[in-house]
Amino acid sequence: MAVWLRRRNDTAKDEVLAITGQLATLAEATIGEARQVALNARRTLHRRKVAGSGQTRRALAEIDRVAGLLEQVVAQTRTRLGGEVPDGSTRVVSLHDPDARPIRKGRLGRPVEFGYKAQIADNADGLVIDHTVAVGNPPDAPMLAPAISRIKARFGRAPKSVTADRGYGETSVDDAVGDLGVKTVAIPRRGKTSPTRTKAQRDRGFVRLVKWRTGSEARISCLKRDYLWRRTLFDSLEGTQTWCGWGVLAHNSIKVAALTADRHGEPGRRATVRRQGGTDPPTTSTEPAAVA
């Protein structure tokens, strides 16, 4: 397939599709053979009236799991060969991590990535005060109010100000966040806005919060680069949530240590703290929260 793809012409594409169809046929035959092996093994155990060892039971369960995933992959392949695109929200892209999904982010180098979608909320001290990991690529807007609700339950109060990118810019989101006790919501709207909304978005306080959120985008890069959010080594959604949780714990531990050293004026440590405003710990902070 790699040799044919290098030719970059219509004949090469047709040949690759033909090879893909042959692979799907081979996979169907292999699935049938694997299921027959599992069936014979279970019949033998039943005939001997034994439950089998734990290793045997795990092996049979693994055959069933992988066979089921392969059946879905074959169905996706047949759909693709038929000229249609499989549904990305349920598409299997990995036998090792069946919860991973294709996510189109629009980057030039990597227009489509495979994995999970994460959301983080940080405060003015640079601490991550909420994070979630979701399957696929759910819309941004419905994820904001639940995040603010968790922050309010965790710290006993809602942040005074909340800002996020345009993906969250909807009237319903502003209303839902305001109902939770947030006094200022600075989320730019997508597309052309009304004169009233344009004037509101040009307000000095609104612009200041939006600029602060732009600066907080570095939090995502930091988590990816320094705390291994770029690639999880744990399979499944639960494993990825655990992996990201440990990364946030490490990030916040180092950040709290730096803030504590700065507050107590320890020599040689003050210059290491990059502060974005505010000095209260997260349990009492009412500084803005940014969601990305």
Distance between CA atoms of residues 267 and 30, nearest Å: 67
Do residues 70 and 207 share a domain?
no
Check whether 253 has a pLDDT greater than 90: yes
112 and 62 within one domain: no
CATH number at residue 183: 3.30.420
Same domain, 190 and 242: yes
C-alpha span between 177 and 205 (Å, rounded)? 18
Whether residues 114 and 249 fall in one domain: yes
Q: Please tell me whether residues 150 and 236 are part of one structural domain.
A: yes
152 and 205 share a domain?
A: yes
pLDDT tens digits for 109-149? 888 889 999 999 999 999 999 999 999 999 999 999 999 99
73: pLDDT strictly greater than 70: yes
Q: Are 121 and 213 in contact (CB under 8 A)?
A: no
Note the pLDDT of residue 139. 92
pTM higher than 0.85: no
> What was the pLDDT predicted at 277?
36
pLDDT, position 3: 73
Question: What is the 3 state secondary structure string of 181-222?
Answer: CCCEEECCCCCCCCHHHHHHHCCHHHHHHHHHHHHHCHHHHH
pLDDT at 272 over 90: no
Higher pLDDT, 8 or 47: 47
Largest CA distance in the chain: 80
Rounded to an integer, the average pLDDT of 229-253 is: 95
Between CA 219 and CA 126 the distance in angstroms is 8
Q: Which single residue is written with the structure tokens 């502060």? A: 275
Say yes or no: 37 and 153 in one domain: no
Backbone φ and ψ of 113, nearest 5°: -120, 165
Instruction: Please report whether residue 95 resides in a domain.
Output: no
Which residues 6+ apart lie within 8 Å of 41 measured at CB?
Answer: 52, 56, 60
In a domain, 182, yes or no: yes
Enclosing domain of residue 59: 2-81
- Residue 87 is assigned to a structural domain of this protein: no
Residues 77 and 129 grouped into a single domain = no
Q: Per-residue pLDDT tens for 76-104?
A: 999 999 989 898 889 999 998 999 999 98
Q: What single-letter amino acid sits at 138?
A: P
Query: Could you tell me if 162 and 204 lie in one domain?
Result: yes
Tens of pLDDT, residue by residue over 25-48, are 999 999 999 999 999 999 999 898
Q: Are residues 116 and 164 in the same domain?
A: yes
Domain count, the chain: 2
Indicate the residue among 27, 51, 81 that finishes a domain.
Answer: 81
Q: Do 52 and 147 sit in the same domain of this protein?
A: no
